[in-house]
Amino acid sequence: MFNAPKIILASSLLALVPACSSELSEENQELLDARIADEAKPTNLIAVLQANPDLSTASTLLGLSGVGAELDGDGSYTAFAASNEVYNKMDAEKLSELMHADNKDALADITKYSLVEGSMTSADIAKAITDGGGTASITTLQGGVIKASMEGDKIVLEDGAGNKINITQADVESTNGTLHVIDAILMPK
């Protein structure tokens, strides 16, 4: 009737089935880890700026300017953002003045000058420079122009005030554009 050893063996095997099915293969675990990491990444340009502690001042200024809402929409953009190191070198009084509510229009003007409609990677900028015979003119959301050229293998930007600015970290991708970290603040004329 009852075969005790077979029942014990069957019960033991059944107890092992959930343990085996809850373990992922190494390949599946890597895929799961990659998916979790992708889902944890910031999505749009605003989130990318906010997630990077070295760009917290640029993120704050973008928010204070009121321009950030434009980047939250459906459009595609290129953003040139100065690192905190740049702002730390700036006169604290000038930075404080710029952040004052009375200067929101001036801040919006500067902020829009660092934004371009359409996503441009460093390869896109380099191609535009080549196509332009050594210089590319990039029109900003503010309406001004940033000139781009190559010095060796580096892209150099020239703002409306004539300042030369280097891209220190290129091609930070987001769902609605590309971010380039720069070593100075782009200033319109």
Quick one: pLDDT at residue 13? 45
Digit-coded pLDDT (tens) for 39-62:
655 589 999 999 999 999 999 999
% of the chain with per-residue pLDDT over 70: 82
Residue 55, number of CB atoms within 10 A of its CB? 23
Q: Helices then strands (H, E): number in the chain? A: 9, 7
Check whether 161 has a pLDDT greater than 70: yes
Check whether 188 has a pLDDT greater than 70: yes
Q: Are strands 77-82 and 177-182 parallel, antiparallel or unpaired?
A: parallel
Residue type, 108: A
Taking residues 161-168, what's their average pLDDT?
97
Q: Which two tokens stand for residue 157?
A: 């930007």
Q: Is 134 helix (H, G, I), strand (E, B) or coil?
A: coil
Chain centroid, CA 14 distance in Å: 50
Taking residues 115-131, what's their average pLDDT?
97
Nearest to 58 by CA among 79, 39, 33: 79
Reply yes or no on domain 44-182 having CATH 2.60.120.200: no
CB 140 within 8 A of CB 113: yes
Residue type, 66: G
Digit-coded pLDDT (tens) for 1-36:
445 544 554 455 445 444 444 577 787 777 776 677
Residue 42, number of CB atoms within 10 A of its CB? 15
What residue segments make up the domains of the chain, in order of their start?
Answer: 4-36, 44-182
Cα(95)–Cα(111) distance, rounded to whole angstroms?
13
Which residues are registered as beta bridge partners of 158? 147, 164
Quick one: pLDDT at residue 22? 56
- What pTM was computed for the model? 0.77
Q: Is 175 helix (H, G, I), strand (E, B) or coil?
A: coil
